[in-house]
Structure formats: structure tokens, C-alpha cells
Chain A
């Protein structure tokens, strides 16, 4: 498969670019922030995503979805990233769907996701840094399980209809086995979600599980064998976050290059200065290399290739580094105006920082690659 978008994918990109660019430009995110919106995204837009088929992009046609792959999901995510559009697309339509796919739980949750009625959130992280360990306990209780522990950095966690929760059913926190993945409905008792606004103005919840009772059918896949759906979730989430980072970095770079062409100092456009030209050209190279890494990961993931795991880590680490450079150069090259709240470039810096942290930062993934390569 050639490493560029085919015609269908380009058409999808054009549609996503038009819709997200018109309906959810950066001004949309700014308005949600300025009105102190407590949902974190627009449900109307989520419904429109459903009408366009985006919510079911990774869901098979037998379940009413589009039956497309990670390349296509990434095309939508890149536009979301470019416009800093707040949306539950990554957590719901990409990561949660990947976890549920092929399990008994799919029948229950896919219709709501396809119709745009269901929003899913991912309760995976237990500390300030993403780790593979899972400590939150799930003990057998009656016909089901009782969940005790806490999760954090759960985007949309306070409004989600469905929480995907990684829990420990045997062994200890760092064991690979003994993890079970649960689909927890939002009305579960003894569950407290406290939303906190993050630096990028999005809301993420800290969630307390104080003996939350769920039925046995809340288990995604098999008890003690949750690592498999969890890995599917993480692969999809990481690849998706990489695509969104690509959009954030690309958006920041485009804004910056435009600014270099327009802003005059000493009577000439500042983009005519070689010092800035070289930095912009270097940034372009980093972003293009990152773009190739993301598409490679998406294609390998769609092909079910065993090399996908390494490619996903490369993509997440590379986009983390390249987009960080893009937003830093963006603010610097904009000069003083880049520091103002009124101008959008600062929003790109904040969003990049959040996405870089999501599902493991560049160091986490470089370390994973090193470990897998045996050093």
C-alpha cells in the first residue's frame, strides 16, 4: 500500500476539513471556554458527526458503521487537531470502539455510539504520568464485580455515558496478566467524577470508585484477560492522538508561516530573514517526517501487522517532539502577539502539551521502543 492518502481518503479529508473548519474553528473552542461551558464540547456537533457517519467510522457496516480504518479516523482527527475542536471523537469513536470491537459488549454500546447518543470516556490512568500498571481493584461480588480505586485524566469523564475502566482482578499492579476491562454505565452508584479544567480549556475528570457495583456483563472480553482489549484501545488511542497532534502542529506551522509572510519589520517581511527561514524549513522537515510516521502506523494497524506496536510508538513519540517544536516556534516567531490570549497561537501550545501527555509522552514511547529492541 503506498504511503499516501488514496482518492477516497482525500475526499473524506476534504469533507472533514470543510465541516470541522466551518462548524468548529478555533473560535468555537474559545467560545466554549469564555462561557465556562461545563460539558466540554457541543452535543449538537457530536450529533452532526453522527449524521456524517464519523461516529461509526471504525464500526463495521453490520453494526451500522462505515467500516473504515485508522487511516480514515486519523484524517478526521487531524482536522479536529488543526481547529482545536473539542470533541469526544478520539475517546469514543476511536479508542472505546477499538476496545469493544469483537466482544459481546459491542452489541450493547455500538448503536448509541453510531447514533451520536453515547459518549465514552477512558478511565485508564492512575497517576500523573501514563503507565502500564493497573492498581484499581475489581473484586467479585454477587453476580458481578465491585470496583475500588481512582483514575485521573479522564477526558469527558463527568458527562460520559460509558466509562471504559481498566481494573485489576488478580495479581499486583505491575503484572501484565490479571487485568480486566469493564464497560461501566454512567449511572453506576458510588462513582464520583470531578471535572477539572485543564490548561487547554478542556475538561478532564478525576474519578473515585468507592465500591462501584457492576454486572458480570460489564466485562469487555474475558476476566483477567483485559490486556488484549486494553492494548487495542491504547494502540488506537495513541495512533489517534498522533494524528490529532499532526493537525495541531500543522495548524500552528501554517499560522506561523503565514505570519512570517505578512509581518513586516525593518521595512521587509520577517520571513525574508534567513535565520527565520531556516527554522521554518527545519520545522517543516520535522512535521513531514512525523506525518510519514503516523501514516505508517495507521496502515500497519489497519493491516493487523505485528510491527504496528513499534510503529505506533514511533508515531506518538515523533509527533510529540515535532508538534512541541511547531508550537514553540509558533509562539516565538509570532513575538509578543503570540503571548496574548487574544491571538490563537497560544491555544495550540496548550493543546499540544495535553495531547503529548495523553497515552504516554515521547519519553514513554522511546523507552518502550528501547525495551522492545532489547536494550
Chain B
């Protein structure tokens, strides 16, 4: 199919299949569709959009067709994304399965694991969470202690995870466990299991934003079948690193903002107004926003460059750390400026007018950006050692 034909047909299909409700901006958490076994909280348009896109494999357009993907080449994938952006279509499915587990399974999974899990991820049937961090293994992730004892046909998993995003809604977990206590990095394995397995329990953690996307997750004699091991025993750290690279890419995308309308600028103009020269009537805030916009636009170019280099195999393996660091720090300053622009309106916590305090809650949420997925300090360590090749302490 030629580029033009593909674009024409894609445009027509999206026009016919994307419900009008799914072309409105995402305003609250309820507007984000995560799929999963329990779809009772999804609206009909959300289900329609997810299912129609899932059937075509367009929730994961560049995955192979045999695993539920769209089988599109990079140019077609780009065209699809452009056409979705053109009608301002929402993401049909948000999923840690798509952004993190999927790429790792495609690289490290067995044929059975790929055939079993990937299509369900693509269609939004199973919602995944990530079991990485532990109370005493934060930035030093490899010191994790959750144990998996070899019991012949299964592993017996015991321990505790923390910061497991949406564990209370997840159907399955991809999890790092210790299978060898004598070797720090080469004693970790990567396993998958159903959250409904006996012995798994979760408890939400209330955050400063008043929300609770994270949980503590406990494993008490959880039986995990051996075939759920991904990659080689004791070599789970390789899978984890590969997956973290994808997570960092995803998080670094936060620095980009989105859409043609700039909420920061629009918001500031609405609350503060303009002077007689048509300039924002707070010259210092205007200067801060303008300097932020320089960095934001430059970072957008950096992201574009990174993707181009990634496709061409030219990207440095530690580049995602640099991107994660820069993108999350930018996102924090964006929300700091949005709070300044919003004034007292941006302080309302529960009112309808404020969408239930969307602005202050989002602002508080961003403070975790430079902590989750590896702190800014950890990313800087990685850049210093792996890119600048500075000596170890």
C-alpha cells in the first residue's frame, strides 16, 4: 500500500470508528482507559474505542500481527499517530503492558509467553502492574529481597513491594524476585503471575495529591508456576534494565506537554490578562514562562532526535536516563508555573469548577516524576559513568 493510500484509508477508518466522546481532551483520571478484566467503570464509548482499535492491533501498531499487533512499519505507525492527532483522538488504551512489559516480552519471552500474553495486552483484556521497588530497595533497586524459592514445579514467593502503580486494579504483575541470595545483580529473576493467586494482597498508599495510584503489595507463600519465568533464571536484571529504558522513555515524554493549545500560556492569559502592549500583565511570570518555553521546545527537538537515533540504532544506551532526568525536571517546572499562573483558582481542591482540584493535584503528582523510575540523582549517576565515563567513587 502506498503512503497516500494508507493515510486516506486510515483517516476514513478513524473518522468512522472513533466515537466523538473520545475526541475530547482527557480531563480527569476517569477519562483514562486502562482496560483489564473489570471493565465496569469504563463508559461505552471508551469500550468501543478500545475494542475497535484493539481488533486492528492499533493499540500497539508496530507489534507483529501474530501477537495482536498492527504489523505496521515505522512510516505507517507515524502516519497512524498523525491521523489520530489530527482528530484529537484519545489514547484508546493506557497500559504498562504496552509501554513496559510488551517490549520486554518481545525481546526475552518464550514463544508461548508471547502468544499467551501479548494479544491480551493489545486488546486491553489484562491490566498489568509492575513489582519492582521494595521498602528497602528504592534507588538501589538491585538490593531487593522478595524471595522466590525453587519448589520443583513452582516458585514460592514471599516479600513486599511498594509503589506498585494501580496494583489494586491490576490483573497480573511482572515482578522482580530474588532467586539467589549470594549474588546481588545476578541473583534476580523476572516472573509473571496473576494477582488473584492466593497470598497476594494490596493496600493503597495515600499521596500528598489526595490520590492513591500507588500501593503496597504483599506476597505470602504465593505459588508461581515455573513457566512464568521470563528470560534466564538469575538474569532478570537484564530484563529489568531493558524494561526500565522503556519506562524512562515513557516518563520523559511528560516534559513535552501536548496539543496545539498551550495550557500554561492560555491559563496565564485567562487569569492575569494583558497590558496595553498585549503582553502578559505580569512581566516576571511572562519572562519565566518564556524561558521555560525555550527549554520545552528544545527538549521537544531532543525527543525527536532521540527517536530518530533510536530507529537508526545510533542512540546511546544511557540516553533514556538523560531524557528522563531532563523531561521530568521540565515537567515539574511546568506545573510550578501553572500554579503561579492559576493563582487562587489553582488552589481549589474539591470544587466542580476546578475539576476536583485537577491543577493542584497534578502539580503535586509531578513532584514524584524525579523520584519514580529512578531518581534524578540516579539518572545523573548513569550519565556521569556511562556517557561521560567519569571514574567510580
* Residues of A in contact with B (beta carbons under 8 Å apart): 2-4, 257, 260-261, 268-269, 271-274, 276-278, 280-282, 284-285, 288-293, 295-296, 310-311, 313-315, 317-318, 321, 362-363, 365-367, 369-371, 373-375
Contacts and interface: CB of A to CB of B under 8 A. Distances in A.
B274 interface: yes
Given A273-B393, A369-B294, A370-B279, A282 B380 contact: yes
16 contacts: A3-B309, A257-B388, A271-B390, A277-B385, A281-B379, A285-B322, A288-B322, A289-B295, A290-B298, A295-B305, A310-B297, A369-B297, A370-B279, A374-B265, A375-B279, A375-B289
B293 A369 contact: yes
A271 B391 contact: yes
Interface string B376-391: 0101110111011111
A366 B279 CA distance: 13
Contacts of A281: 322, 325, 379-381, 383-384, 387-388
A310 B297 CA distance: 9
B291 A285 contact: no
A24 B314 CA distance: 30
A362 B322 contact: no
B294 A365 contact: yes
Contacts of A375: 265, 268-269, 274, 279-280, 286, 289
Contact of A289 (B262, B299, B309, B377): B299
Interface residues of B, number: 45
* Chief secondary structure at chain A's binding surface: helix
Contacts of B302: 288-289, 292-293
A272 B391 contact: yes
B312 interface: yes
A277 B381 contact: yes
Interface of B: 262, 265, 268-269, 274, 278-280, 286-287, 289-291, 293-295, 297-299, 301-302, 304-305, 308-309, 311-312, 314, 322, 325-326, 377, 379-381, 383-385, 387-393
Give the 6 A-B residue pairs with the shortest CB-CB distance, closest first: A277-B384, A293-B298, A281-B383, A366-B290, A3-B305, A2-B308
A74 B191 CA distance: 50
A373 B286 CA distance: 12
Contacts of A373: 262, 265, 293
B75 to A, nearest CB: 12
Contacts of B311: 2
B64 to A, nearest CB: 24
B304 A362 contact: no
A310 B294 CA distance: 10
A2 B287 CA distance: 32
A50 to B, nearest CB: 33
A293 to B, nearest CB: 4
A4 B269 CA distance: 37
Nearest to A373: B265
A121 B105 CA distance: 60
A29 B205 CA distance: 61
A278 B321 CA distance: 13
A299 B52 CA distance: 38
A272 B274 contact: no
Given A271-B391, A370-B279, 4 more contacts: A261-B390, A281-B381, A291-B305, A362-B294
A139 to B, nearest CB: 31
Given A281-B380, A295-B305, A367 B290 contact: yes
A260 B389 CA distance: 10
Given A289-B299, A363-B287, A318 B294 contact: yes
Given A273-B393, A285-B326, A366-B291, A278 B384 contact: yes
A259 to B, nearest CB: 11
A268 B392 CA distance: 10
A2 B289 contact: no
B312 A4 contact: yes
Contacts of B274: 375
B390 A272 contact: yes
Contacts of A272: 390-393
A271 B385 CA distance: 10
A4 B294 CA distance: 20
Contacts of B279: 370-371, 375
A329 B372 CA distance: 28
Q: Which of A260, A285, A289 has the most CB of B within 10 A?
A: A289
A269 B297 contact: no
Contact of A321 (B286, B287, B289, B294): B294
Contacts of A278: 377, 380-381, 384
Nearest to B281: A375
A256 to B, nearest CB: 10
A198 to B, nearest CB: 26
A257 B293 CA distance: 29
Contact of B325 (A285, A362, A370): A285
Contacts of B287: 363, 366-367
Nearest to B277: A371
Contacts of A4: 305, 308-309, 312, 314
Nearest to A310: B297
Given A373-B262, A375-B286, A366 B301 contact: no
Contacts of B299: 289, 292
Nearest to A271: B390
Contact of B297 (A2, A293, A367): A293
A296 B301 contact: yes
Nearest to B293: A369
B304 A292 contact: yes
A274 B280 CA distance: 41
B390 A280 contact: yes
Contacts of A363: 287
Contacts of A285: 322, 325-326, 383
A284 B293 contact: no
Contacts of B381: 274, 277-278, 281
Contacts of B286: 370, 375
Contacts of A296: 301, 304-305
A314 B297 contact: yes
A241 to B, nearest CB: 15
Contacts of A261: 389-391
Chain A CB within 10 Å, residue with most, of B295, B311, B326, B377? B295
B265 A3 contact: no
B337 to A, nearest CB: 12
Contacts of B293: 366, 369-370, 373
Nearest to A317: B294
Contacts of A314: 294, 297-298, 301
Contacts of B392: 272
Contacts of A374: 265, 269, 278
Quick one: which of B280, B287, B294, B305 has the most chain A CB within 10 A?
B294
Central interface residue in B287, B293, B311, by most chain A CB within 10 Å: B293
Nearest to B385: A277
Contacts of B298: 289-290, 292-293, 314-315, 318
